[in-house]
C-alpha cells in the first residue's frame, strides 16, 4: 500500500472535499428549511408546497441528487480525519483514544448547541459518538477493524431493509397534515422552537441512533481509503474502481430509488446506496486533486477549500442563516413564499452558499482557522493548523 503523506502540509483535495460536503449538506437540508411545515411536515410529505407536476418532478430530482450523498461524504472525511489524528498522536506519544475523547467531547457540545438553538437535524452529536467508537477500534488489529466494518454494515443494511418494508406496508402520512395548525415553524418564536426540540428529542435524535452502524462502517472505510493512498499519486487504481462503483453503478440505482420509489425508496437510498455514491464522489475529488497537483487551483477549488478549512463554523453559520430566511422568527419565507417553493428554495440555497463562501474567504484572510475551529484547537491543545483536520474538527 502507498503511504499517505504525514508531513505538516495540507492535502488540498481534502479541503475541497470537505467544503463540497458542507455545501452539499445544505443542498439536502434546504428543502427541510423551506417546507411550510418545517421538519415535522417534511417527514410526512417532503414535496408539500410544490403545486404543479413539473415543479414536483424537478424538486424530486434536486432532492434525489443530494439525498444522503453528503452525509456519507462527511462520514468518510471524519474517518480520514480520525486516521490522521491517530497517526499524529502516535508520533507525539499522546494517549489514544483519550486524547481524541477531548475533541469528540467538544464536537458533541457543538452539536448540542446546534441542535437546541438552531436546527433539530444536527449531525455533529452522532458523529462525535461514532468517532469515539471508531477511535477505540483503530487501536485494534486490521482484521478486527475489517470484521467490525463488515458486521456493522450488514446489521445496518438489515435494519434499513426491515424499516423500508414497514414503510411500504404502512400507508403514507396524509399530505394535508404536513402543515399543522398551529405551525411552530411559521408562528412560533425562536424560543418556542427550542422548547419543541427539547420536547421531541426522541423523534429528532432518532437518526443518529439509526445510523450508528453505518457511521462505524463508513468512518473505518474512510480510514482504510486514506491509508491505501486514495489521495496519493499511486492510488489511481483505487480511485478508478471507486468512481466506477459509486458514480457508474450506484448513482443510477440511487436516483431511481429516490425518484420512483416514493418515500420508502428515498429512505432506502439515503442509507444504503448514497454512502456508496459518496465513495465515488470522494474518489473523483481525489482524482482531480492528483491531476492538478503542482498547478494553481481553480477559483471554485479555492473557495471550496476555504469552506473546508472552516467547516464547523460554516456548518453552523449556514444553518443559522437558512433558519433566519425560512422560519417564522425570521423572514418566514417557508410559508410566505410557499406558492413558489421550488424557485425560492433554490434561490435561498444560493444566497446561503454565497454568505458561507464570503465568510470563509474574508475570515481566512486574517486568521488561520475558523472561529469554532480555533476554540476547538485551544481546548484540545492543537496549536498548529493540522494537515488534514476532520470536517468540523
pLDDT digits (tens, 9 = 90+) for 124-144: 999 999 999 999 999 999 999
Domain, as residue range, for 326? 12-380
Mean pLDDT of 111-115: 95
Residue 339 confidence class, pLDDT cut points 50, 70, 90: confident
Q: Which of 186, 126, 166 is nearest to 330 (CA)?
A: 186
Residue 44: predicted pLDDT: 86
Judge whether 3 lies within some domain: no
| pLDDT-based confidence at residue 48 (cuts at 50, 70, 90) | confident
CA distance 208 to 338: 30
In whole angstroms, how far apart are CA 14 and each of 38, 73, 227, 245, 294? Answer: 33, 11, 14, 20, 15
- Closest listed residue to residue 379, CA positions, set 316, 315, 312: 312
**3: burial class by Cβ within 10 Å (0-12, 13-18, 19+)?**
exposed
* Residues in CB range of 268: below 8 A, 6 or more apart: 160, 161, 164, 257, 261
pTM: 0.90
Let me know: does 393 contact 102? Beta carbons within 8 Å. no
Provide the 8-state DSSP code for 269: H
Q: What percent of the chain has pLDDT over 70?
A: 91
Set of cell numbers at residue 217: 462502517
277: nearest Cα among 307, 256, 253, 304:
253
**pLDDT at residue 381, as a whole number:** 74
In a domain, 33, yes or no: yes
* Mean model confidence pLDDT for the chain: 89
Which residue do the cell numbers 469554532 mark? 372
Domain contains 120: yes
Other beta carbons within 10 angstroms of residue 90's beta carbon come to: 10
C-alpha cell at 223: 480510514
Contact indicator for 262, 175 with CB cutoff of 8 Å: no
- Residue 389 located in a structural domain: no
- Could you tell me if residue 393 is inside a domain? no
Sign of the dihedral defined by the CA atoms of residues 207, 212, 216, 221, in that order: negative
The percent of the chain in helix, strand and coil, each rounded to the nearest 5, is 75, 0, 25
Gap between the Cα atoms of 257 and 268, Å rounded: 8
Let me know: does 126 contact 71? Beta carbons within 8 Å.
no
63 domain-assigned: yes
Q: Is 188 helix (H, G, I), strand (E, B) or coil?
A: coil
pLDDT at residue 178 in the model:
64
| Residue 386 lies inside a defined structural domain of this protein | no
pLDDT of res. 43: 87
- The whole-angstrom separation of Cα 28 and Cα 262 is 17
* 167-192 pLDDT per residue, tens: 998 766 555 566 667 889 988 999 99
Give the three-state DSSP class for 232: coil
Which residues are CB-neighbours of 45 under 8 A, at least 6 positions away?
A: 172, 173, 175, 178
Count of structural domains within the chain = 1
Of the CA atoms within 13 Å of residue 231, those in its CB half-sphere come to: 23
pLDDT tens-digit profile of 186-235? 889 999 999 999 999 999 999 999 999 999 999 999 999 999 999 999 99
Mean pLDDT, residues 50-72 taken together? 90
Q: Which residues have C-beta within 8 Å of that of residue 357, sequence separation ≥ 6?
A: 303, 306, 307
* Residue 314 in this model has a pLDDT that exceeds 70: yes
Domain membership of residue 5 (yes or no) is: no
Q: Is the peptide bond before 50 cis (omega within 30 degrees of 0)?
A: no
**Residue 259 C-beta-side C-alpha neighbours within 13 Å:** 16
The lowest-confidence range among 36-40, 55-59, 389-393 is 389-393
- For 99, half-sphere exposure in the C-beta direction (CA atoms, 13 angstrom radius) is 16
Amino acid at each position: 500500500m502507498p503511504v499517505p503523506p504525514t508531513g505538516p502540509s495540507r492535502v488540498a483535495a481534502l479541503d475541497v472535499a470537505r467544503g463540497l460536503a458542507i455545501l452539499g449538506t445544505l443542498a439536502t437540508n434546504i428543502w427541510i428549511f423551506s417546507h411550510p411545515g418545517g421538519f415535522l411536515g417534511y417527514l410526512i410529505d417532503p414535496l408539500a408546497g410544490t403545486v404543479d407536476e413539473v415543479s414536483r418532478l424537478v424538486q424530486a430530482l434536486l432532492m434525489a441528487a443530494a439525498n444522503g450523498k453528503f452525509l456519507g461524504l462527511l462520514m468518510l472525511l471524519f474517518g480520514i480525519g480520525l486516521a490522521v489524528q491517530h497517526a499524529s498522536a502516535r508520533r507525539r506519544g499522546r494517549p489514544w483514544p483519550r486524547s481524541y475523547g477531548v475533541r469528540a467531547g467538544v464536537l458533541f457540545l457543538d452539536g448540542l448547541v446546534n441542535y437546541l438553538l438552531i436546527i433539530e437535524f444536527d449531525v455533529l452529536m452522532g458523529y462525535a459518538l461514532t468517532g469515539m467508537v471508531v477511535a477505540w477500534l483503530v487501536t485494534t488489529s486490521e482484521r478486527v477493524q475489517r470484521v467490525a466494518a463488515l458486521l456493522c454494515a450488514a446489521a445496518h443494511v438489515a435494519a434499513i431493509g426491515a424499516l423500508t418494508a414497514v414503510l411500504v406496508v404502512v400507508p403514507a402520512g396524509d399530505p394535508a397534515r404536513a402543515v399543522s395548525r398551529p405551525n411552530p415553524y411559521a408562528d412560533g418564536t425562536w424560543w418556542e422552537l427550542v422548547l419543541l426540540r427539547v420536547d421531541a428529542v426522541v423523534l429528532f435524535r432518532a437518526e443518529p441512533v439509526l445510523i450508528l452502524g453505518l457511521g462505524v462502517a463508513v468512518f473505518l472505510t474512510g480510514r482504510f481509503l486514506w491509508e491505501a493512498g486514495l489521495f496519493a499519486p499511486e492510488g489511481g487504481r483505487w480511485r478508478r474502481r471507486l468512481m466506477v462503483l459509486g458514480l457508474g453503478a450506484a448513482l443510477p440505482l440511487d436516483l431511481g430509488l429516490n425518484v420512483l420509489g416514493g418515500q420508502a425508496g428515498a429512505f432506502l437510498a439515503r442509507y444504503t446506496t448514497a454512502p456508496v455514491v459518496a465513495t465515488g464522489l470522494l474518489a473523483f475529488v481525489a482524482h482531480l486533486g492528483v491531476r492538478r497537483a503542482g498547478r494553481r487551483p481553480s477559483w471554485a477549488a479555492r473557495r471550496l477549500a476555504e469552506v473546508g478549512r472552516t467547516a464547523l463554523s460554516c456548518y453552523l453559520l449556514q444553518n443559522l442563516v437558512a433558519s433566519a430566511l425560512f422560519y417564522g422568527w425570521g423572514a418566514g419565507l417557508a410559508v410566505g413564499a410557499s406558492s413558489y417553493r421550488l424557485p425560492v428554495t433554490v434561490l435561498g440555497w444560493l444566497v446561503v452558499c454565497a454568505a458561507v463562501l464570503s465568510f470563509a474567504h474574508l475570515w481566512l484572510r486574517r486568521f488561520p482557522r475558523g472561529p469554532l475551529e480555533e476554540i476547538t484547537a485551544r481546548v484540545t491543545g492543537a496549536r498548529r493548523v493540522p494537515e488534514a483536520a476532520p470536517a468540523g474538527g
